[in-house]
Amino acid sequence: MRSAELLDLLGNTNRRRILRLLAQRPYYVTEISDALGVGPKAVIDHLEKLEAAGLVESRTDDRRRKYFSIARHVRLEVTVSPYEFGAKSAYPRRSRPDTAREHLSISLDATEKRRDVRELIQTLRELEDLDRELSLAKRWVEGRLTELREELGETLETDPRLVGSVLAALADGPITVAAISEEIGADTPQIAAVLERLECEGIACQDEDGWQLS
């Protein structure tokens, strides 16, 4: 999908709210409708548009409930400045980016003297190259994050998005199952199952104050 089409699709507030929900875990239409306070018919219309664009996919469970989830990772960059306006979309890189730098070091010198035109042009080109390499590096990092989350989900035999949300909730200190449920919007039994698995792996532990990272 072209970046302009993606930008237009995501310009709708309710579609962004739906995607924010689906980033946590799969939802079915009634859940989305209740969570957002939007009518089921409108939710279905938004989901159909997101599905047609390839951003969302669906599956039907044993009770014939249709669950929706985010289909793939897409990065959308928008630049607005006095000298440039543009949008570009890209998918995470699974291979290591081919950049000129292994490490990045930037010197910020506020006392720099005025330079001649050739020096200014050279610096401008260097910064444009750096901007391109940073974008590639960011895509690679996002690709690795996706791979690691999927691997973590497979190891723990549960939804990687749910695991990530639970781990984030545990990072702030002791917290109860009910509090995690309220914070991330997931069912208590699901959270309890994830916590038990994390405890078995030695990642989380429970005391009188609640659950926390080991």
14-73 per-position pLDDT tens digit: 999 999 988 878 888 999 999 999 999 999 999 999 999 889 999 888 888 888 988 887
> Among the listed ranges 66-70, 88-92, 126-130, 166-170, which one has the minimum average pLDDT value?
88-92
Q: Fold for domain 160-213?
A: Arc Repressor Mutant, subunit A (1.10.10)
**DSSP string of 69-88, one letter each residue:** EE----EEEEEEETTEEEEE
**Residue 149: its pLDDT value, please?**
76
Mean pLDDT of 62-85: 83
Mean pLDDT of 5-20: 90
Cα 185-186-192 angle, rounded to 5 deg: 135
Domains 3-70 and 160-213 alike in fold: yes
Extents of the domains making up the chain: 3-70, 92-154, 160-213
Taking residues 127-132, what's their average pLDDT?
Answer: 82
CA dihedral over 78, 9, 37, 30, signed as positive or negative = negative
Q: What is the mean pLDDT of the chain?
A: 81
Nearest to 186 by CA among 161, 212, 153: 161
Q: Dump pLDDT digits (tens) for 171-210.
A: 877 888 888 888 877 778 888 888 888 888 888 888 888 8
Please tell me the predicted confidence (pLDDT) of residue 36.
92
Topology of domain 3-70, per CATH?
A: Arc Repressor Mutant, subunit A (1.10.10)
More confident site: 130 or 90? 130
Long-range contact pairs involving 75-80 (C-beta distance under 8 Å, separation at least 24): 75/138, 75/139, 75/142, 76/3, 76/6, 76/7, 76/10, 77/135, 78/7
